[in-house]
Amino acid sequence: MSLKWGIAGSGKISSDFVTASQSLPKEHHEVVAVAARSQSSADSFAKKFNLKKSYEGYAQLAKDEEVEVVYIGVLNPQHYEVAKLMLESGKHVLCEKPFTMNQKQTSALLKLAKEKNLFIMEAIWSRCFPVYKELSRLLEEKTIGDVYSVSVEFGFPLQEVDRLTQKEMGGGSILDLGIYTLQFQQFVYRGLTPNKVVAAGHLNSFGTDQSFNAILTYPEGKTAMVGATAMVEAPNEGIIVGTKGTIRIPGFWCPTTLILNGKEMVFPLPENKGTFNFNNSVGLSYEAEEVRQCIRGKQIESELVPHSETMELSKLMDNIRKQFKSMEFVLVVINLFFILILHVLSLPLTSDDVDIFSDKIVNNVIEDSFNITNSTRLARVLNFFPVPVEEECRANDGRRKGVCMNTYECRIQNGKSYGPCALGFGVCCVFTATCNQEAYNNLTYFVNPDFPDLTHQMTSCSLIVKKIDPEIAQLRLDFIHFNLGQPNRKNGVCEEDIFLMTGGKTKELKLCGLNSGQHAYYDVEDINEPITISMNLSRRAVSRLWEVRITQVPFAERAPAGCLQYHTGLKGVIQTMNFADNGRHLAEQDYNICMRQEEGMCSIAYEPCHEDSFKIDPNRQEVESNLDDALEGSGSDGVPQSRQMDSCGDMISLPCDSDDLIMPMDAGGTLPGFCNLIHCGPSLCPSGQTPCRVESSSTPFTVGVHFGPSAREAPPDDNLGMCLVYDQLPCNV
C-alpha cells in the first residue's frame, strides 16, 4: 500500500522532493495534495505534478483524510507552526531543515509527536545517502582508528537570495547552510556532546550572519572545525582524520564518493527521471523511502536522524547564534564609546562647564549611534574567533609550506586549504600566484602559467609583491624550480630569458638559466612601494618551469646585511648562480654568500664539490702569458696577492687571516700554503692539486662572488662557476 504524501510549500525544494518521490514505485509512494500561501501557487504546482488536490493555506491540507504524511518545505520561520498543525491533525511529518528556529520550538514538536504517537523527522537527506551508510560502517569498525579531528566547510555565493539574507525570513548561514556542517560532525562523533563551542562570523547590513566558523571540542581531545558561508563558494568537503588514516567526502551534503586513505569508492545515484533545481536532488528519494519504512514499521523516529540528535543540533545552533548576539552587543558598546569620544573632541576646549556625561550629550551619542547602524547599515565582521597563530605549516601533500590560519581567512584571501594545523583549530593555507597577479601574503608560490607542466610560449610575465606589514625587512626567494633559457654561452649575459626583481633597497636581481635549489634575500626595509618580479621570456624553442617560494621576512628574522644568500647549519653546499654541467656562470653578479656561525664553531673549511666544480676564467683582456702559472690556482705559490687581484677580473673572494691555511702542501710538499683572498682560474687550490681544502677563521663566514660585465668571450667550459662544500670547525679548547 502506497504512502500518501501531502506537500506544504510550493518552492524549489518542494518541487525537487515531489520529482524524486514520483521516481519511486507508485505502490510505495503517491503525492496526492499540495498547499501553498496562495491558491494560484498551489494550483500551478498541482498541475505541474499532476496532483489531485491543491489548497490555499495549510489548514485544509491538515484536514485532508487521505494524506498520511506531510512534507514541510515552507520558509524556516513557518516550520514550527505548520508542523504543529499537522501533528495536531494526526499527520506524520517530514520537516525540512532547520527543524525549527530554536530549541524551545524543537522540544515542543518532539514532545507533541511522542504524545500523538506520530512519526516526525528532520529532513537531513544527507544521512539517507549510501555514502553515509558506508561511512557509518567504517567508523564503527574503526577502519581509520580513533577519530580525533573533523573539518567541514559548506558555501555558495547566495547574496541575492532573500531568504538567506533577511532575518525575518529565517535567513543566515547558520540555519540554512551551517546545519549541514554541524550534522556532519555530529554524525561522526555520534553519542558525544561537545565540551565547548566557540564561534564567530560575518554579519550583513541586516544583522544576518552571512558566514561563520566554529570550533567544537569533545572529550579526549577530539575536535571539529565547521564553517559555512553564503558569500563565496567553499571547498564543500568533509575530512575525517583518525589515528590510522583519513576519510574525505567531497560534496558531503549529497555525496556520491568516499575517499578512504586516497582510494575512491563511488556510489551512483538512482536513475534521474526528472528535472531538478538542486544538485543530486534525485537523492531525496532515499529520504522519502526512509520515511515510508519507518511509518510502516510503526516507528516515531528514524535511526538515521533520531530525535535526540535533532534536539542537539537545535541547541548547537542556538549556542552559536547566542555568541553572535553577544558580539553584536560588544560592537554596539564600542560604537557608542567611539562616538562619545568624537563628541568630546568636538566640544570647546576652553569651557569650564562642560559635563561630558550630561543627559544631552549622552542622548546625542545614542541618537547618532542608531543613525549610523540604521541609516548606513554598515556590515560588521566579528573577529572574536580564536585565530591560530599565523606561522608556517606543512601542507598535507608534504610538498609545500603554507600559513596556519582559520578556514574563513584562508578562503577570503584566495588561498587553498591543505589539511588541518594547530591541533585542528586552523588549516594549512597555501597561496599561489602566476603571471600578472599580486602577492600579499607572508608566503606565496610564484609559478609559471602551466605549472606543474612546462610553459613553451614566449611571453612577458610579472608579479607584484606587496608587503603585509611595514616591519617586513626582506623577501626570501626559494627557487624550488627555476629553469629558464641559458645566458649567452660566450659571455654569460642574460639576453633573452631574464628573471628581474626591482623595487627594493638593493640593486636589481637579474638571473637566467638553471637555479633550482638556490635562494636569495632581497632587502625591502623602509620600502613602501610594491616590488616587481618580471619574467621577460623571448628565447625560442625553450621549455620553462619555475616555482619560487616568496617569504616575507620581518626585521627580527632578517639575514645579515649584504648577504644575497644565507646558509645555516654546520655543513652545506654553496654554488654560484646557474651552476650546472652545461651551464655558464652569469655576468654582472656581485654579492656575498653568508654562513651563520653556529655555536661553538670558530672556523670554516671549503672544498670543491667535485673535480670540475671550480672553473672561473679571469675575464681580463690584458692577462699576459707570464701569469698563466699564477692562474692555475689561488694559493701563494710565489705569486703576490696583488698580482692575483690584478689578473682576476671574475673572481671568488674567501676572507681569511694571515695564519689560515690552504691544503694540500706547498710545492715542496712540506708545509701547507697560506690562504689568499682572491680565487679564479681552473681550480680552487694551487696548480689544480687535489684534494683541495681551504680553511678560514675570519668572521663572519662569507664567500664573495664578483663577476663583472664580460670583457671578452671565453669558452663556457672554462666558466662553469663554483660549487663548494663547507664544514664549520669547532673552537680549540
Rg for the chain (alpha carbons), in Å? 36
- 534/498 Cα distance (integer angstroms): 8
Spatial CA neighbour of 583 closest among 509, 486, 725: 486
pLDDT at 379: 35
> Which amino acid is it at 116?
K
pLDDT at 658: 58
pLDDT at 330: 46
More confident residue, 720 or 458: 720
pLDDT surpasses 50 at 97: yes
Residue 556: band (very low, low, confident or very high) from pLDDT cuts 50, 70, 90: confident
- 621/712 Cα distance (integer angstroms): 7
Among 16-20, 638-642, 701-705, the least confident range: 638-642
Residue 147: band (very low, low, confident or very high) from pLDDT cuts 50, 70, 90: very high
Mean pLDDT of 655-682: 64
Residue 413: band (very low, low, confident or very high) from pLDDT cuts 50, 70, 90: confident
**Three-class DSSP category at 8:** strand
Mean pLDDT of 463-467: 94
Q: Contact at 8 Å (CB) between 9 and 73?
A: yes
More confident residue, 118 or 455: 118
pLDDT surpasses 80 at 102: yes
Q: Contact at 8 Å (CB) between 114 and 322?
A: no
More confident residue, 232 or 62: 62
Q: Cβ contacts of residue 69 below 8 Å, gap of 6+?
A: 3, 4, 5, 6, 91, 92, 93, 94, 119, 291, 295
pLDDT at 271: 84
- Enumerate the domain spans of the chain: 3-126+293-299, 131-266+306-386, 392-430, 433-558, 589-730
pLDDT at 21: 96
Q: Contact at 8 Å (CB) between 505 and 526?
A: yes
Mean pLDDT of 461-475: 92
pTM > 0.85: no
Q: Is 504 exposed, middle or buried (0-12, 13-18, 19+ CB in 10 A)?
A: buried
Q: Contact at 8 Å (CB) between 405 and 427?
A: yes
pLDDT at 334: 45
pLDDT in tens, 557-574: 999 999 999 999 999 999
DSSP string, 532-552: EEEEEE--SS--BEEEEEEEE
The CATH architecture assigned to 131-266+306-386 reads 2-Layer Sandwich (3.30)
Q: Contact at 8 Å (CB) between 236 and 253?
A: yes
Q: Contact at 8 Å (CB) between 729 and 695?
A: yes
pLDDT at 621: 54
pLDDT surpasses 70 at 689: no
pLDDT surpasses 60 at 357: no
pLDDT at 68: 98
Q: Cβ contacts of residue 101 below 8 Å, gap of 6+?
A: 76, 77, 79, 80, 170, 175
- Paired with 216 in beta bridges are 197, 224
Q: Cβ contacts of residue 139 below 8 Å, gap of 6+?
A: 147, 188, 240
pLDDT at 206: 64
Q: What CATH number does the domain located at 433-558 have? A: 2.60.120.290
Q: Please, what is the average pLDDT of the chain? A: 84
Residue 446: band (very low, low, confident or very high) from pLDDT cuts 50, 70, 90: very high
Highest mean pLDDT of the ranges 75-79, 235-239, 290-294: 290-294
pLDDT at 457: 84
pLDDT surpasses 80 at 275: yes
Q: Contact at 8 Å (CB) between 672 and 663?
A: yes
pLDDT at 732: 80
* Cβ count near 613 (within 10 Å): 19
Residue 349: band (very low, low, confident or very high) from pLDDT cuts 50, 70, 90: very low
- 559/596 Cα distance (integer angstroms): 9
Cα separations in angstroms, 40 against 14, 46, 58, 644: 16, 10, 14, 99
pLDDT at 373: 35
pLDDT at 169: 64
DSSP string, 261-309: TTEEEE-PPPP--S--SSTTGGGHHHHHHHHHHHHHTT-SS-SSS-HHH
Q: How far is CA 559 from the centre of its chain?
A: 27
Question: Do 3-126+293-299 and 131-266+306-386 agree at the fold level?
Answer: no
Percent of the chain residues topping a pLDDT of 90: 59
pLDDT in tens, 157-179: 876 676 666 666 666 778 888 89
pLDDT surpasses 90 at 517: yes
- 127/183 Cα distance (integer angstroms): 9
Mean pLDDT of 676-691: 79
pLDDT in tens, 583-636: 899 999 999 999 999 999 999 999 999 888 999 988 665 444 444 444 444 443
Among 120-129, 187-196, 605-614, 634-643, the least confident range: 634-643
CATH 3.90.1010.10 fits 3-126+293-299, yes or no: no
Residue 380: band (very low, low, confident or very high) from pLDDT cuts 50, 70, 90: very low
The beta strands (E) that lie in 449-570 are given as: 459-465, 472-483, 497-502, 509-511, 519-523, 531-537, 545-554, 563-567
pLDDT at 408: 74
Dmax over CA atoms of the chain, in Å, equals 116
